[in-house]
Structure 1
Amino acid sequence: MQSRFQGGAAFVRGAFVPIAEASISPLDWAFTRSDAVYDVVHVFEDGFYRLADHLDRFAVSMRTRRLAPPESRAQIEAILHRCVALTGLSDSYVAMVALRGRPRIPGSRKIEDCDNHFMAYAVPWIDVIPKDVQARGAHLWIATKPRVPDASVDPTVKNYQWSDFTSGLFEAQDNGFDSAIVCDDAGFVTEGPGFNVFIVKDGQVRTPDRGSLHGITRKSVLELCGMLGIPAAIAPVRRDELEDADEVFLATTAGGVMPAARINGTILGNDRPGPVSLRIKDAYWQQHRDGTHRTDVIRDA
């Protein structure tokens, strides 16, 4: 069975299918209106990392966007385990998604006419910044187009509204950079496509207080800073502070703690990952090896 699911496994409309067979209706508002919320957790050496935290955040996102698929939290968790088990993967990227659904009455604009539904999938491990790029330090472009305002789209609800991020990626790739960081229209740093941003200045760590998802890896970084005795804060970060930082690193479920080496035309340190970034990165992966925040994958269900 694992050979059938080796590219990934998905749960769609009550059935487990190979990832290549997973689909939704083109009339689903999740597709036509980006009317969905999601969350992502990773599996490292047969164990979920901070699964409860991801399920908590997913529940809040669903409540905020008035999405109520029929599956209970316990059922959702069991589905995630089963998706991973079907793939046979020991390291995996695992997503859970709540979708608005297709209106039962064609052409209806009433939200209550849609039956919400849940889907999930597990695929091989994903690094949003490839490991070789992490090793030399990511080169990051500061996007010229601003982040969608928090008042318009709540960034603490994990969603598929990526127009601002995609525009930033266009610019980054056009200019030979690895990824982009997006600022708001007042010039304050927010986040990037799929990651939180941290700066290090004079030994102190700071991450933006606006325009950003409350990342689970971000939470881990702040906790680790406390354990390591590194001063850290959630506070405003101006664009010029980003460019003048001693170090910059990124944090995401899809890759962990990922150091940067260049911001636009600015070379950080010696054009390599900085010592504070590497210390936090090492501590983050040591937590994984120690089994901290681990939930073993259930494979015999």
Structure 2
Amino acid sequence: MSTDFSKGAAWMDGKITPVSEAKISVLDWGFTRSDCTYDVASVRNGAFFRLNDYLERFQQSLAKVRISVPQKTEEMRDIVHSIVGRSGLRDSYVAMVACRGVPLVPGTRDPRQCGNHFFAWCIPYVHVIKPEIAARGAHLFVPRDVRRIPPDSVDSTAKNYHWGDMTKGLFEALDAGFDTAMLLDHRGNVTEGPGFNVFSLKGNCVRTPDTGVLEGITRRTVLELCGELGLETEVRPVSLSEFMESDEVFTSSTGGGVAPVTRINERVFSNDAPGPATRRISETYLSWFDRPEHRQPVTYA
């Protein structure tokens, strides 16, 4: 009987298994302390999008959190290609993870005395904001009692699982009847939401926050294509009051690309429908998937 990889595949310790069979130790600091870093790339129509950029950022994250694994960039690239190829998924959400690992000295509190390790997995493509919600525009809630973890406590530019603030914000947003949350920092500036960056369009200028955020590859793509569309861009602190004066608002994420936002709290944007500039940006973003310089086709078994 052949193994079913249709729900995803994982690479751990040199072996590819169905994603449901991938496990880490209960003693792993990646589990007990959320002491890990990761990155997520996407596959659409059988090809990775900007995989080299995701791998480069992952290497930067590894250096920032001081995790060292034996796999180098080229091997990681081969691994993620192999698991997607084995899965048969033409559209996939692909994670690369490095954990601090199990203490090599039992009971140690020294992070240098752990066995760092790498693994990867892929599943069918995930939308952070579901397509039916993006079609009418997402409704975001700014939590009253939650602030983004300060970057001098947890470096937001190193992708991480420290989601205590995001999860608390999500509960508050969902309980209030909204789709998801957008967090502020302790100065009252906009940061990001659970799994996405945010953008404000005012006139001909697209703005996005510069601190307390992951410097997303999709975010980078949006900033690059805005120039192609003749839109100005600014990466800087954006207060909530300024953000609420936007003509249009949208999010960006590897999981789902560009998604319009039509409401934040009680404020309605672009007549409660996806705005024309956001639609144009989203369409251009999707077209970039077909550009040869951004595509790495997967070889399927």
- TM-score w.r.t. length of structure 1: 0.97
Quote the residue 1:142 is aligned against: 142
Deviation at 1:112, TM superposition (A): 2.5
2:176 is the alignment partner of 1:175: yes
**Is the Cα–Cα contact under 8 Å of residues 2 and 88 in structure 1 kept in the other structure?**
no
Query: SS of the residue aligned with 1:224?
Result: helix
Quote the residue 1:228 is aligned against: 229
2:128 is the alignment partner of 1:128: yes
Identity %: 49
Deviation at 1:232, TM superposition (A): 1.0
Q: Which runs of 5+ in 2 are unaligned?
A: none
User: After TM superposition, what 4+ stretches of structure 1 lie above 4 angstroms from structure 2?
Assistant: none
**What does the per-residue CA deviation read over 1:230-289, in whole Å, with 9 as the maximum and x for residues that have no partner?**
111101110112222111100010110111110111111210111111110010001113
Distance 1:291 1:137, change over 3 A: farther
CA distance in 2, matches of 1:298, 1:54: 19
Deviation at 1:75, TM superposition (A): 1.1
Query: SS of the residue aligned with 1:211?
Result: coil
The Cα RMSD (Å) is: 1.2
CA distance in 2, matches of 1:132, 1:22: 31
Q: How does 1:17-96 map to 2 (within 5 A)?
A: 17-96=17-96
CA distance in 1, matches of 2:2, 2:44: 18
Alignment-mate amino acid for residue 198 of structure 1: F
Q: How many residues align?
A: 300
Deviation at 1:294, TM superposition (A): 0.7
Quote the residue 1:283 is aligned against: 284
Query: SS of the residue aligned with 2:280?
Result: helix
Quote the residue 2:195 is aligned against: 194
**What does the per-residue CA deviation read over 1:149-202, in whole Å, with 9 as the maximum and x for residues that have no partner?**
111111111011011111110011001111110000110000111010000112
CA distance in 2, matches of 1:160, 1:222: 25
Deviation at 1:3, TM superposition (A): 5.6
Alignment-mate amino acid for residue 53 of structure 1: D
Alignment-mate amino acid for residue 57 of structure 2: R
Query: SS of the residue aligned with 2:43?
Result: strand
Quote the residue 1:165 is aligned against: 166
**Is the Cα–Cα contact under 8 Å of residues 2 and 86 in structure 1 kept in the other structure?**
no
- TM-score w.r.t. length of structure 2: 0.97
Quote the residue 1:99 is aligned against: 99
CA distance in 2, matches of 1:154, 1:235: 17
Deviation at 1:16, TM superposition (A): 1.0
Quote the residue 1:269 is aligned against: 270
**Is the Cα–Cα contact under 8 Å of residues 8 and 87 in structure 1 kept in the other structure?**
yes
**What does the per-residue CA deviation read over 1:50-96, in whole Å, with 9 as the maximum and x for residues that have no partner?**
00000000000001111111112111111100110111010000000
Deviation at 1:291, TM superposition (A): 3.9
